[in-house]
């Protein structure tokens, strides 16, 4: 485990947008910013960091606000997309970089899309995984929409109440929580039955797939034992505040070159019309020219599950834009 955490990378502690951030760096060349999702840290990009650095790119992979060795403000109102994008702009400024390629998964994809929306001048191109850029529905808040579609048992709905998910998670050791999330094998919506907490609904797998080891899961568990889950959960608790603040960008489009990578077995892909949206015309109208790649057999943590395919897809996109 120590060997994995001592990967041949440089660790930085920088001040950005009023918080201290932990950032990992490797390689020289054009800058690629890697943004992790829930419940991850920079370590989720371990395969891509080495691959991209070996192919002539300078890679920066931060622990996002609330995660790992980056500061974790207590209030959910400190976790809007504006805060996250502000952190990333400050990070680019700290390293003296006017522009970067940006790669993000899950909440990291949300951050990448909004960095591209707010500051297209700082983004050469974006590769998003699992989460497409979504339109803002003007007449209903996200949590109300999710509740109408999926009821109170949806994980997003259960995560809204401060302290509720933290108390439920605390009934398990941190390694078990990591296993429950990383190895989700549900084929239906991520919705717990009435009266059940979502973390209890998730099964604890008795075996690990070949793409992740017990030692790698322990790396995450150790970090979350230090930092807790409140910061990561606050991203969900800021969803309605994001909606309120994003009103001025109603109908805005992503104007930077973009690629979306999603696994066909990702539980979010065939849920709530996501597949139809990604493959249809509305998404392509909001992100003109977007390239969509559906990886067969890929689940949610696709950069770890299929590291070579994902690294190749990122590289092909970067090289195409560098011509």
- What are the residue numbers of the active site? 106, 236, 300
What's the CA angle centered on 37, arms 278 and 44, to 5 degrees?
Answer: 115
Residue 94 · residue 14 · CB < 8 Å = yes
* Diameter over CA atoms, the chain: 56
Strand partners, 10: 25
Distance CA 66, CA 92 (A): 19
Report residue 31: phi and psi, to 5°.
Answer: -85, 135
Report how far apart the first and last C-alpha atoms of the chain are (Å, whole number): 40
**What is the sign, positive or negative, of the torsion defined by CA atoms of 26, 50, 303, 206?**
negative
- DSSP notation for 183-247: T----S-SBPPTT--HHHHS---SS--TT--HHHHHHHHHHHHHH-SHHHHHHHHTHHHHHHHTG
| 3-class SS string, 255-302 | CCCEEEEEECCCCCCCCCCHHHHHHCHHHHHHCCCCEEEEECCCCCCH
């Amino acid at each position: 485990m120590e060997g994995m955490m001592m990967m041949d990378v440089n660790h930085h502690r920088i001040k950005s947008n009023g918080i201290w951030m932990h950032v990992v760096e490797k390689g020289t060349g054009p800058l690629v910013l890697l943004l992790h999702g829930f419940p991850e840290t920079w370590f989720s990009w371990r395969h891509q960091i080495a691959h991209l650095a070996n192919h002539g790119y300078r890679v920066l992979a931060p622990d996002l606000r609330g995660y790992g060795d980056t500061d974790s403000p207590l209030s959910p109102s400190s976790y809007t997309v504006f805060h996250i994008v502000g952190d990333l702009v400050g990070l680019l400024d700290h390293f003296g970089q006017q522009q970067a390629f940006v790669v993000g998964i899950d909440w990291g994809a949300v951050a990448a899309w909004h960095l591209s929306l707010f500051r297209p001048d700082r983004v050469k191109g974006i590769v998003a995984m699992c989460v497409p850029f979504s339109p803002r529905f003007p007449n209903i808040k996200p949590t109300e929409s999710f509740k109408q579609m999926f009821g109170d048992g949806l994980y997003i709905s259960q995560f809204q109440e401060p302290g509720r998910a933290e108390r439920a998670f605390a009934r398990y050791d941190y390694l078990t929580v990591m296993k429950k999330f990383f190895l989700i094998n549900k084929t239906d919506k991520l919705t717990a039955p009435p009266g059940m907490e979502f973390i209890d609904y998730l099964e604890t797998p008795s075996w690990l797939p070949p793409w992740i080891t017990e030692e790698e899961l322990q790396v995450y568990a150790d970090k979350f034992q230090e930092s807790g889950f409140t910061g990561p959960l606050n991203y969900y608790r800021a969803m309605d505040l994001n909606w309120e603040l994003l009103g001025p960008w109603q109908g805005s489009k992503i104007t930077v070159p973009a690629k979306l990578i999603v696994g066909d077995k990702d539980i979010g892909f065939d849920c709530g019309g996501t597949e139809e949206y990604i493959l249809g015309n509305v998404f392509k109208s909001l992100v003109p020219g977007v390239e969509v790649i559906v990886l067969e057999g890929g689940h949610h943590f696709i950069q770890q599950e299929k590291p070579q395919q994902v690294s190749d897809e990122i590289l092909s996109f970067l090289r195409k834009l560098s011509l």
